[in-house]
Amino acid sequence: MNPPAGSASPALRLHTPDGAAGRPAWLAVTLSPSVLTTVTVVGIAALAGAVGADGRWLAALGAFITRHGTIPAGVPFAAAPTAHWHNAIVLAELVFHGLEVALGDRGLVLAQLVAVATTMVVLIRDARAAGASEKGAGTAVLIAAVGAGPALVIARVQLFSLILFVSLMALLRAETRRPSRRVWFVLPLIALWSNLHGAVLIGVGVTLAYLFLDRFRQQRWTAIGVAAGALVALCMTPAGLGTIDYYRGLLTNAAAARGAGLWGPLSLSAPLDIVLVLVALALGVQLWRAKPALWELGVAAALAIATVKASRSGVWLVFFLAVPAARSFRTVRLWDWVMPPVATLALIGLVAGIARGPVTNGAGAALLTRAVSLADGTPIMADDLIDEQVALAGGRIWVGNPIDAFSKRDQMTYLDWLAGQRSGLRALGHNVHVVLTGRATDAERLMAADPQFANVGSDKRAELFIRVAVR
């Protein structure tokens, strides 16, 4: 029997977004919480988008590999010894090089925006598959995005992990609901991830938690087989078994040990960390109400501990919490009035951000070119972030990113210099005649007080020093 005229069929009603009854199909999709959430987050990321540390050095290595047709031993643009370093993420280096060649830093930011959009879509679809309403999914993901702000706004190699982490979580949650042979797809995903970014270790840890806290009780040999395969997949990089040393160095580098830079611990005196804590608590309360699986509780606890130790891990915590938490969020009528105009403004921001390009940071092109020219092939001592610019511009550095490629002693000396400690001046004895620092940084103040060096130039964000006396 045909439905009465003017009424929607059951199938159409089933797929109509919350609050969209009576709207044309195209308008219902445009105003759906999924679209509004994604547009809002991507628009803000575009407007504030910048290239951060741990990004350009990959493009510099990718350029070397492309030019010479071989993977170098160590870091070719560094003067300090690095021959012992195993390069596992060659694929990421080649991708970043391609983006830089095609579009410069704008290419890295555009790749970041694609990663952010994909991440939002996967999270929302995962939440919907888990039983959340569309507005509940949109609300949870939007809240999680607030807590993960820096990871979404700043383009760095982590962009690969944004997509791969949420994709892995979606796969494991689907397997929790209905176990199948699809669980073996974990292996190629981990193999790909291991060639792109070190956060694959978190993915492996979450996978093992699922396998032994959930799957093992139902299919023991499948769980053991996938777990063993995941460890093998982790080593399927150009470094082979050397991948193990690569990840060991990544976890035990001096910056991680000191809690410096990106490895800094959670701090309640840092505004962004306070926001992260509030978001994690809000999602955590909803998670508890949703009665998650045992493995999800275990992973949430482990990620919370990791976040306290290094706040950069907070992005994985809030993204992991968002999906189960979404099931407990109630429909809020205010959404229909607030989100459309917010998303419209974000869309304008998206267009403006793409047209403008990334927010400028580090040393300007003129100062950078002058520094490389003055160095004349000798290593330049440079601040974190600027060191990567030097490498990409064809110059040499003494020590910089990737910091785990260097000896522990050289790492510590470099970190001392960044922190403005006089012990860091030992680094300048390694044939360093040119120094680039950020403005008003500890390293800049250290160099300004050193009579061996003189300030010979600056721009809005950096200072240039050259040696005027022999140490």
Give Rg (Cα) of the chain: 24
- CA-to-CA distance for 130 and 140, rounded, in angstroms? 13
Q: In the chain, pLDDT over 70 holds for what percent of residues?
A: 92
Quick check: helix, strand or coil at residue 189?
Answer: helix
- CA-to-CA distance for 63 and 302, rounded, in angstroms? 38
Residue among 171, 187, 207, 160 nearest 302 (CA): 207
Q: Are 260 and 418 in contact (CB under 8 A)?
A: yes
Q: Quick one: DSSP state of residue 457?
A: E
Task: At 315, list the tokens.
Answer: 């992005």
User: How far lies 413's CA from each of 264, 416, 469, in Å?
Assistant: 18, 5, 21
Q: Are 303 and 316 in contact (CB under 8 A)?
A: yes
User: Which pLDDT band holds residue 3 (cuts at 50, 70, 90)?
Assistant: very low
Q: What is the mean pLDDT of residues 341-358?
A: 92
Total length of the chain: 471
The pLDDT of residue 18: 47
- CA-to-CA distance for 23 and 35, rounded, in angstroms? 16
AA identity, residue 295: W
Residue among 435, 433, 413 nearest 424 (CA): 413
Q: What is the mean pLDDT of residues 204-217?
A: 96
Task: At 312, list the tokens.
Answer: 């950069």
Look at 3-17, 166-180, 226-240, 401-415 and tell me which has the smallest mean pLDDT.
Answer: 3-17
- CA-to-CA distance for 414 and 84, rounded, in angstroms? 18
The pLDDT of residue 430: 85
The β-bridge relationship of strands 380-382 and 154-155 is: unpaired
The pLDDT of residue 12: 32
Q: What is the mean pLDDT of residues 92-120?
A: 96
Task: At 51, list the tokens.
Answer: 């290239």
User: Which pLDDT band holds residue 355 (cuts at 50, 70, 90)?
Assistant: very high
pLDDT in tens, 21-75: 455 554 445 567 888 999 999 999 999 999 998 889 999 999 999 999 999 999 9
AA identity, residue 242: G
Q: In the chain, pLDDT over 90 holds for what percent of residues?
A: 81
The pLDDT of residue 331: 66
Q: Are 53 and 169 in contact (CB under 8 A)?
A: no
pLDDT in tens, 158-185: 999 999 999 999 999 999 999 999 999 9
Dihedral Cα 316, 320, 325, 329, nearest 10 deg: 60
Q: Quick one: DSSP state of residue 262?
A: G
Task: At 404, list the tokens.
Answer: 């785990």
| CB-count burial class (<10 Å; 0-12, 13-18, 19+) for 315 | buried
| CB-count burial class (<10 Å; 0-12, 13-18, 19+) for 398 | buried
Going by C-beta distance under 8 Å and a sequence separation of 6 or more, which residues neighbour residue 179?
215, 218, 219
In 151-233, which ranges are E strands?
A: 154-155
The pLDDT of residue 332: 65
